[in-house]
Structure 1
Amino acid sequence: MTHTARRMFELLEPICLVTFFADECNEELAALGHRTYWDGYFASRAAPLGRVPAEVVHAAFYSFTDGEVARHIPSVWETITPEASVAARERGSAASLRRILGGKVAASAGLVRAADLAAKAATSAPTEGRMMYAGMRSLPVPSDPVARLWHCATVLREHRCDGHVAALVGARVGGTEAHVLSALEQGIHPPESFGRVHHLPKQRLAAVMEGLRERGLVDAESRFTDAGRETRQRVEALTDELAAPPYDVLSPAELDELVAKLEPITAKLVAAGSR
């Protein structure tokens, strides 16, 4: 099932990315009163957890450095409720999908079937040890097919992310370290220039790189060692393994059908860059 989990990640991720890349979601969140993109990001993604403190969101999200979450949580809840943020994210994301896919695809029987099969998978896996997945599972599944497809893709994404965090913790790879290893895998050099970390204080980045060198994961020129590449591959393989349970509920025929229904949808989103 690990192959299935990887293929589903490839097909579902472009659906989720409209939340972060397209304009509609940010506009909906800004209309609520969120002052910046990151206000909206932290508020709407953390909202299924309720009014938890920054420390809890930092732990659940894992990949942000100390203090980044606290600049937004809990201050965003002073004027905007978690429920409002959840609703705005869903509205904006569904609107993005409709615009990118076009009316014919958005209203097609294929999309409805994909949304129904994705919902069957998204609502089937155990929630134990899956903080973000459990939070998303607590929300109602939308009745509108486009919103339902986005919602269930996002539920499955958070399930995968919970497993990815577990894999990173098991490999003793911190959040910033994970970004560095990802940058190297993408061929970005120096890895400190990667967009997810380049804004961090130079002293902080230098300490991360030195720690990776001491562990033998990168060399003196900040490039992968064999051990570093193996660690990255091991984390990704375990992430796929841990992401597989939701798809156990689908029969082989249903899995094939879900892939077939998603492929043309995902192709349009990839062509548009999910924007």
Structure 2
Amino acid sequence: MNPMARRMFELVEPIGVLPYAADEPNETMFALGFTNYWDIYFAGRAAPLGRPTAEVVDALFYNFAPGEVARHIPKVWHTTTPEAATAARQAGCVAALRRILGDRVPTPELARATELLTRAATSAPPQGRPMYAALLALPVPEETLARLFFAASLLREHRGDGHIAALVVEGIGGLEAHVLLALDLPLPAVQFGRLHHLPAAQIEAVVDGLRQRGLVGGDGWFTEQGRAVKRRVEELTDDLAARPYEVLDAEERDELVRLLEPIAALLLAAQD
């Protein structure tokens, strides 16, 4: 496993996940006129793509059950525009960062972390990275906290594009990926947050497909082959996620780790 890419994932993810882990982004999105969380999710994340069809969003997001995306795309654009959704999501995440980071916000350390992270986040080739490319086409914000969130979002989507590629290589579908993640926690698939809303028969059909391929045993848990597949997916995901950080030299990467560690710790504590 690529230790540098894995460590950067651990430190950047608490920033990139803010739209789903803090109250402020929900509040700014609800203020646009939305009335349920999943409209907010699809409007906020799909906004950099413009107005693609549900089929395109489903393909790019990869891990939703059949028909789920179409319940929100293109309906969300009757409520707001992609531009307004992007601005609202950013404003909410900036407010969350300001609340959680407090006295760290005006420090040179946070400014330096933002500079290094932005340089890394904007350096990778966009080819074969559709979600990353869509976000990369947007202007880089000038304000420090907005730029910090933007950089983390870029790196999150860059990693996500690579993760989907790794899943495709192993022949793992979107719902199957949720099952593998659940079992890795370890948690029964029917209890996993991204699956438990689905009909039990649908979840069992996904698990049964993995069982027939020898990835899940009769007890519903990983086989050795299943664990090996999950491990290969994670290793390839890390390898594919390393490219943005290659623009930084070794000293800069070490510096970025040191600067992000207290930021990530505060964000994780707030999310708990």
Displacement of 1:245: 0.6
Residue 272 of structure 1: SS of its match in structure 2? helix
2:9 counterpart residue number: 9
Aligned-residue CA RMSD (Å): 1.0
Residue 229 of structure 2: SS of its match in structure 1? helix
The one-letter amino acid paired with 1:197 is L
* Cα distance in 2, alignment partners of residues 108 and 224 from structure 1: 47
Name structure 2 gaps, 5 residues minimum: none
2:19 counterpart residue number: 19
1:237 counterpart residue number: 235
Name structure 1 gaps, 5 residues minimum: none
* Cα distance in 2, alignment partners of residues 223 and 184 from structure 1: 6
Is the 2:122–2:136 Cα contact (8 Å) retained in structure 1?
A: yes
2:31 counterpart residue number: 31
Q: Give the TM-score normalised by the residue count of structure 2.
A: 0.98
* Cα distance in 1, alignment partners of residues 166 and 230 from structure 2: 10
Displacement of 1:148: 0.7
The one-letter amino acid paired with 1:157 is R
- Moved segments of 4+, more than 6 Å: none
* Cα distance in 1, alignment partners of residues 79 and 41 from structure 2: 16
Displacement of 1:258: 0.7
* Cα distance in 2, alignment partners of residues 75 and 191 from structure 1: 30
In the TM superposition, 1:244-263 aligns within 5 A as: 244-263=242-261
* Cα distance in 1, alignment partners of residues 156 and 10 from structure 2: 11
1:127 counterpart residue number: 126
* Cα distance in 2, alignment partners of residues 233 and 253 from structure 1: 29
2:198 counterpart residue number: 200
The one-letter amino acid paired with 2:199 is P
* Cα distance in 2, alignment partners of residues 6 and 21 from structure 1: 21
1:149 counterpart residue number: 148
* Cα distance in 2, alignment partners of residues 96 and 18 from structure 1: 8
In the TM superposition, 1:1-275 aligns within 5 A as: 2-102=2-102, 104-188=103-187, 190-273=188-271
Q: Deviations over 1:155-202 (max 9, x none)?
A: 0000000000000011000111111110111011x2221111011112
* Cα distance in 2, alignment partners of residues 182 and 246 from structure 1: 25
* Cα distance in 2, alignment partners of residues 185 and 78 from structure 1: 39
* Cα distance in 2, alignment partners of residues 129 and 186 from structure 1: 30
* Cα distance in 1, alignment partners of residues 38 and 8 from structure 2: 27
Is the 2:64–2:174 Cα contact (8 Å) retained in structure 1?
A: yes
Residue 271 of structure 2: SS of its match in structure 1? coil
Residue 32 of structure 1: SS of its match in structure 2? coil
Residue 222 of structure 2: SS of its match in structure 1? coil
The one-letter amino acid paired with 1:154 is S
The one-letter amino acid paired with 1:264 is P
Q: Give the TM-score normalised by the residue count of structure 1.
A: 0.97
How high is the sequence identity, in percent, across the aligned residues? Answer: 58
